[in-house]
């Protein structure tokens, strides 16, 4: 049971000028974990001293960041089966009060609208055409070409609100919806790009690795073939490799999201955020 009187006493000592006293108080409050956040936030609202406000805000962030690290570790060690859960955990780094259920409901609504128009026995190309129509024409999703480096492009909750994202965030939403509809569409980790592959489940694929065709979620669900991937790699001067043609793991996707965020924050000069995100990256890179 949380001791409210003790927390209040400790908060009053947070602006102590003695470094040793501050360190002790800080560590003691931090040991309470997420339970203490509401008291720290309430104290922040009532504080007039900028030093105290700063210390309270930093402490709240430290506790919330620890929580994200724990959640990400549990997701990773638990087999990383649920891509959405992994991406939502990253989302909580910037938006700790994220309403996960709201995000899940938004994705379910798009899935439902596609499902209601899905024709039984539709061909793979027809299925993708329908997803594209609902996703891009009805819901208005598009690639954020003007502010491509904006970190907001990598946070799923923001992409679902603004309907604008980067290659990987749009591909994540697209593939999660497809898989919920039992349509075998998965992410492919191309260098400098992220695409989707429609997997063949009946052994009729013209490609090795069971890919029927590829989809560019950033370009309104454009369908293309293996030769286009060959040409893209040739333009980059990158040697063709199996990993550039076949679906990657959920862990690979989460790593890619984190690297995008690190790069975005480095460009903005937010070195502390980049450092913390590198810490998260190390959790899923062990």
Of all helices (H) and strands (E), which one includes residue 186?
A: strand 185-188
**Alpha carbon distance 60, 52 (integer Å):** 12
Question: The whole model's pTM is what?
Answer: 0.89
Q: Which pLDDT value is given to residue 162? A: 96
> In this structure, what token pair is assigned to residue 88?
């939502």
Q: Which pLDDT value is given to residue 195? A: 95
Domain boundaries defined on the chain: 4-77, 83-283
Of 200, 199, 171, nearest to 187 by C-alpha is 171
- Domain 4-77 belongs to what topology? 1.25.10
Query: Distance from CA of residue 219 to its chain's centroid?
Result: 20
Of 120, 101, 118, 165, nearest to 139 by C-alpha is 165
Of 285, 283, 246, 250, nearest to 83 by C-alpha is 250
Q: Which pLDDT value is given to residue 202? A: 64
Q: Which pLDDT value is given to residue 204? A: 53
Q: Which pLDDT value is given to residue 33? A: 82
**Alpha carbon distance 181, 38 (integer Å):** 40
Q: Which pLDDT value is given to residue 1? A: 67
Q: Which pLDDT value is given to residue 250? A: 97
**Blockwise average pLDDT, block size 10, the chain, 286 residues:** 77 76 83 82 78 84 94 97 97 96 97 93 94 97 88 96 96 97 94 92 60 94 92 88 91 96 96 97 92
Q: Which pLDDT value is given to residue 5? A: 79
* 3-state helix, strand and coil shares in percent for the chain, rounded to the nearest 5: 65, 10, 25
């Amino acid at each position: 049971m949380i001791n409210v009187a003790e927390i209040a006493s400790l908060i009053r000592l947070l602006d102590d000028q003695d470094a040793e006293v501050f360190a002790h108080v800080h560590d003691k409050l931090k040991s309470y974990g997420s339970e203490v956040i509401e008291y720290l936030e309430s104290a922040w609202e009532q504080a007039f001293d900028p030093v105290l406000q700063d210390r309270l805000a930093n402490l709240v962030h430290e506790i919330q960041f620890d929580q994200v690290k724990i959640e990400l570790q549990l997701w990773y060690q638990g087999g990383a089966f649920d891509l959405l859960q992994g991406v939502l955990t990253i989302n909580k780094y910037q938006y700790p009060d994220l309403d996960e259920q709201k995000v899940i409901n938004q994705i379910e609504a798009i899935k439902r609208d596609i499902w209601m128009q899905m024709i039984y026995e539709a061909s793979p190309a027809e299925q993708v055409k329908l997803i594209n129509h609902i996703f891009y024409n009805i819901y208005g999703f598009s690639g954020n070409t003007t502010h491509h480096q904006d970190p907001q492009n990598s946070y799923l909750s923001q992409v679902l609100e603004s309907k604008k994202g980067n290659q990987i965030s749009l591909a994540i939403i697209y593939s999660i919806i497809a898989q919920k509809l039992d349509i075998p569409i998965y992410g492919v980790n191309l260098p400098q790009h992220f695409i989707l592959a429609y997997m063949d489940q009946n052994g009729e694929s013209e490609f090795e690795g069971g890919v029927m065709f590829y989809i560019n979620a950033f370009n309104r669900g454009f369908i293309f073939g293996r030769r286009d991937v060959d040409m893209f790699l040739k333009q980059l001067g990158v040697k063709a490799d199996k990993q550039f043609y076949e679906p990657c793991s959920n862990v690979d996707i989460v790593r890619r999201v984190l690297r995008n965020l690190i790069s975005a924050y480095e460009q903005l000069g937010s070195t502390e955020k980049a450092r913390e995100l590198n810490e998260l990256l190390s959790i899923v890179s062990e």
